[in-house]
């Protein structure tokens, strides 16, 4: 199971940061060709990221590239370069509709064919950051290749004309809607970055909240956030103990021919069993 607890944004035009992107322990790195890169540096960033993808050792780290949005013609140049470079996934900003996702899928297939990669090799993570995108998240989530959806709260609140707050009340609908759409489609729901790089306490609170409402991971803008985010999205020892007890009880019940089992006085039914197994899998226990 590919984990996406932490996806770290790295500006595609900064050689030092690109070179070190893989060392922070993030499950994935998002090389950014979009907002972090000034207009007159787009070409340089594209070349840097393509070469980095081709040569940098980044064992066990998913290599995602955020290309420019489809309303700018350079998105196709980005796509060609990063498919050739060997990216694992593409992140499409301002994802708004099923039709766009289908167009991206076709363009990816063409690029894969041209550079000799297997058709369908690349995944897509849709970055949903407009009101239209949020409302269409169900359609986006079920499109071909889409394996994750990321909420972009900064652009979204700007479009809504409301301030972004630490508590995040203004994005609670979007968060809930995205989680529901992602889970219905069986893909990863990834939460918006926490933007105050020095507020570690606020970060932990924000991540734990995101996990509590169903997110699988979080995007990050600071390497210093990786450790805390990974920890928050990893089951605690207590949660692991509970999950092992549930699985043990199920196995014993099965051997004894019992229909129902309980752990700690609580009935273990199918969803509880599934949750326990998922918890174990998250820390690599079958």
Partner 1 sequence: MRDKMIGSLKEALKVMGLADGMTLSFHHHLRNGDAVLNGTLDAAFSLGVSGLTVAASSIFPVHAPLVEHIRKGTVSRLEVNYMSGPVADFVSRGGIAEPVIFRTHGGRPRSIESGELPIDIAVVAAPSADGRGNLTGTKGPSACGSLGYAMADARCAKRVLAVTDNPVDRVAPASIDQSLVDAVVTVDSIGDPAGIVSGTTRMPRDPVALVMARYAAMAIKASGLLADGVSFQTGAGGASLAAASYLRDMMRDLGVVGSFGMGGITSHMVRFLREGLVKRLYDVQCFDLEAVKSIAEDERHVEVSASLYASPGTKGPLVDDLDVVILGATEIDLDFNVNVHTDSSGRIIGGSGGHSDTAAGAKLAVVVAPLVRSRLPIVVDRVTTVSTPGDTVDLLVTERGIAVNPRRPELREALDRAGLPVMSIRELREIALSITGVPRSSRPKGRTVGIVEYRDGSLIDRISEVS
Residue 120, Cα to own-chain centre: how many angstroms? 19
C-beta of 23 vs 166, nearer to partner 1:
23
Stretch that binds partner 1, among 49-57, 63-71, 120-128, 140-148 (CB under 8 A): 49-57
C-beta of 215 vs 233, nearer to partner 1:
233
H-helix segments, the chain: 15-20, 42-55, 75-85, 98-115, 131-135, 137-141, 153-160, 172-185, 200-212, 226-232, 237-256, 270-282
Residue 57 in the binding site for partner 1 (CB under 8 A): yes
Structure tokens that stand for 174 in this block: 């979007």
3-state secondary structure of 274: helix
Write the binding mask 6 to 45 for partner 1: x where contact by CB under 8 A, - elsewhere. Answer: -------------xx-xxxx--------------------
The separation between the first and the last C-alpha atoms of the chain, rounded to the nearest angstrom, is 11
Q: Which of 14, 47, 51, 56 binds partner 1 (CB under 8 A)?
A: 56
C-beta of 54 vs 99, nearer to partner 1:
54
CA-nearest of 115, 101, 107 to 50 is: 115
Q: How far is the CB of 226 from partner 1 (least distance, A)?
A: 8
C-beta of 26 vs 179, nearer to partner 1:
26
Stretch that binds partner 1, among 55-63, 149-157, 205-213, 262-270 (CB under 8 A): 55-63
CA-nearest of 150, 176, 211 to 28 is: 150
- Output the CA–CA distances (angstroms, integers) from residue 165 to 18, 206, 248, in the order listed: 30, 11, 44
C-beta of 24 vs 233, nearer to partner 1:
24
Residue 240 in the binding site for partner 1 (CB under 8 A): no
Residues making contact with partner 1 (CB under 8 A): 19-20, 22-25, 55-57, 222-224, 227
């Amino acid at each position: 199971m590919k984990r996406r607890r932490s996806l770290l944004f790295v500006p595609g035009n900064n050689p030092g940061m690109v070179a070190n992107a893989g060392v922070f322990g993030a499950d994935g790195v998002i090389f950014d060709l979009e907002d972090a890169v000034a207009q007159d540096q787009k070409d340089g960033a594209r070349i840097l990221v393509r070469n980095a993808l081709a040569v940098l050792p980044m064992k066990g780290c998913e290599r995602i590239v955020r290309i420019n949005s489809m309303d700018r013609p350079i998105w196709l140049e980005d796509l060609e370069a990063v498919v050739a470079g060997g990216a694992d996934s593409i992140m499409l900003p301002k994802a708004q509709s099923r039709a766009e996702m289908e167009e991206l899928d076709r363009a990816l297939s063409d690029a894969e064919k041209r550079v000799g990669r297997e058709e369908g090799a690349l995944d897509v993570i849709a970055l949903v950051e407009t009101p239209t995108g949020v409302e269409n998240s169900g359609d986006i989530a079920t499109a071909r290749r889409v394996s994750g959806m990321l909420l972009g709260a900064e652009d979204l609140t700007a479009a809504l004309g409301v301030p972004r707050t630490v508590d995040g009340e203004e994005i609670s609908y979007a968060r809930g809607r995205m989680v529901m759409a992602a889970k219905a489609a069986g893909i990863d729901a990834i939460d918006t970055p926490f933007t105050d790089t020095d507020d570690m306490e606020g970060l932990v609170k924000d991540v734990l909240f995101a996990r509590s409402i169903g997110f699988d991971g979080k995007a990050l803008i600071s390497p210093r956030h990786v450790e805390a985010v990974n920890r928050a999205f990893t089951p605690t020892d207590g949660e692991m103990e509970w999950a092992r007890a549930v699985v043990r009880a199920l196995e014993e019940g099965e051997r004894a021919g019992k229909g129902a089992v309980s752990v700690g006085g609580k009935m273990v039914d199918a969803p509880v069993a599934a949750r326990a197994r998922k918890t174990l899998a998250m820390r690599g226990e079958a």
